[in-house]
Structure 1
Amino acid sequence: MSALPGVKALVFDTFGTVVDWRSGIARDARTFLAKHKRDDIDPLGFADAWRKKYQPAMEAVRSGKRPFTRLDVLHRENLDALLADHGISAGKAELDWLNRAWHRLDPWPDAIPGLLRLRAKHFLAPLSNGNILLLANMAKRAGIPWDAVLGAEAAQAYKPQREAYTRTAEILGLEPGEVALVAAHNGDLAAARKAGLKTAFVLRSHEHGPDQATDLRADSDWEAIVGSFEELADRLGC
């Protein structure tokens, strides 16, 4: 029996749940920093600092202080600010390349095998704060088998806004309870549940590196609690 009876679509948080953003950003940051002879800057620390600007940038949109702005633009603004903090200047082409590091992230080892199994019985799509081109490029490079590429740009809302979840279900032509969010973040799952979606927690204990202090366990009675996508496939009978 499935742990998510009645669920027709699985939608996935992407950064941290499907892909390892920290290692991928650090990889390209290492190349960029070496070119600029900045071996005083730790590439992993650079990735963390860039990511730290992520929520404040989206909050300006969520609060209504600025109109909906896709994540590629927010990432670029955050990158420009981060480089200014370090006194680094670069040309447009080089900055465009580094900003697209978010398009070139690698999946966790269990992600693709698990998604292929889950796809046999469920419709799969990202429910991410990423924009469509970012998520499509990521999927094309990594072989992520989405049935559709959705995300904040489609919903015109950033998680954890309720509309990010309900509009995704509406786009799919489903009731919220026929959709389950799969995420490694308890806060994301809490917002999804409040919006009527079912929930599945997958542990990603190294998303933020070896000293990670958050989301090391499920904080609630999510419908499924697993350690990998393949374990989720087992729980859903796939």
Structure 2
Amino acid sequence: MNKAPKVLAFDVFGTVVDWHGSIAAEVARLGLPVDPDAFATAWRQGYRPAMARVRSGELPWTKIDVLKTFQIHSLSENQIQHLNLVWHRLNPWPEAVEGLHQLKSQFTIVTLSNGNMGLLANMAKNAGLPWDLILSAEVFRHYKPDPETYLGVADIFNLSSEEVMLVAAHKDDLEAAHACGLQTAFIERPLEFGKNHLRNDLHVEQFTNYHAKDFLDLARQLGASDPEQH
């Protein structure tokens, strides 16, 4: 039986915030001549190859905001800039804020995202995310799944790797953290890619210590009480 973690490190995009639903809603609000769901999917797909080029050394370190530009010619320059920064305004999943508050009552909660620091801070401010500390790939100059990111969290808090738990909705992220000795918690987010692309990978894995429907479920499993009861 693993001892209780001291720090919970959260993947953010898809785990804490609904990137697909938020982007699709923004596109619909702007009345763009594109399918909102297709637009959200295509935008997200553009990030992975760009991040791989940074990790391989082909590109110097680049903030995620400028890794990809999506050209929309029917908008003004100011509107394009506003849309490009939609990542800063992503909405949290319905239970996320309440669940984070419950978990924060017992654990130190931090981000561990490939998004840059400014983006994560703006997102937290906009969505009311109660982080104790914002950490990202920008701090460690490595993108997940490089070991330097996961082990870097433990180093910052002077903890052993098993005293840190990665909380994520992505199994490749969790598997990499597990390989580094971290505890892991998988969060089901069946709608991450939209209603037209329901996830089919929500089964329990051996490399996860916890498997939860959402943050409230994880809080119950970890024995984190509702802070309003104190």
TM-score by length of 2: 0.91
**Match of 2:201, SS?**
coil
- 1:1-238 → structure 2 map (5 Å cutoff): 5-32=3-30, 34=31, 38=33, 41-74=34-67, 77-80=68-71, 83=72, 88=73, 90-210=75-195, 211-238=197-224
Superposition deviation, residue 105 in structure 1: 0.8
Contact 1:4 1:224 in 2 (8 A): no
Residues 10-43 of structure 1, C-alpha deviation per residue, up to 9 Å, x if partnerless?
A: 01011111010001111222234x2x6x2xx101
Q: Which moved more, 1:103-112 or 1:160-169?
A: 160-169
After superposition, the Cα gap between the structure-2 partners of 1:196 and 1:78, relative to the gap in structure 1 and judged at 3 Å, is farther
Letter in structure 1 aligned against 2:41: D
Superposition deviation, residue 109 in structure 1: 1.1
- After TM superposition, the runs of 4+ consecutive aligned structure 1 residues lying more than 4 A away are none
Q: Within 2, Cα distance between the matches of 1:55 and 1:49?
A: 11
**Match of 1:196, SS?**
coil
Superposition deviation, residue 68 in structure 1: 1.4
Residues 173-215 of structure 1, C-alpha deviation per residue, up to 9 Å, x if partnerless?
A: 3222111000111111000111121100111111012232443
Letter in structure 1 aligned against 2:5: V
Contact 1:7 1:179 in 2 (8 A): yes
Q: Within 2, Cα distance between the matches of 1:89 and 1:152?
A: 34
Letter in structure 1 aligned against 2:214: S
Q: How many residues align?
A: 223
Contact 1:180 1:197 in 2 (8 A): yes
Superposition deviation, residue 92 in structure 1: 3.5
Aligned to 2:227: none
Q: Within 2, Cα distance between the matches of 1:97 and 1:235?
A: 40
After superposition, the Cα gap between the structure-2 partners of 1:92 and 1:176, relative to the gap in structure 1 and judged at 3 Å, is farther
After superposition, the Cα gap between the structure-2 partners of 1:101 and 1:4, relative to the gap in structure 1 and judged at 3 Å, is farther
Letter in structure 2 aligned against 1:69: T
Gaps of 5+ in 2: 225-230
RMSD: 1.7
TM-score by length of 1: 0.88
Q: Within 1, Cα distance between the matches of 2:110 and 2:18?
A: 18
Q: Which moved more, 1:128-137 or 1:219-228?
A: 219-228
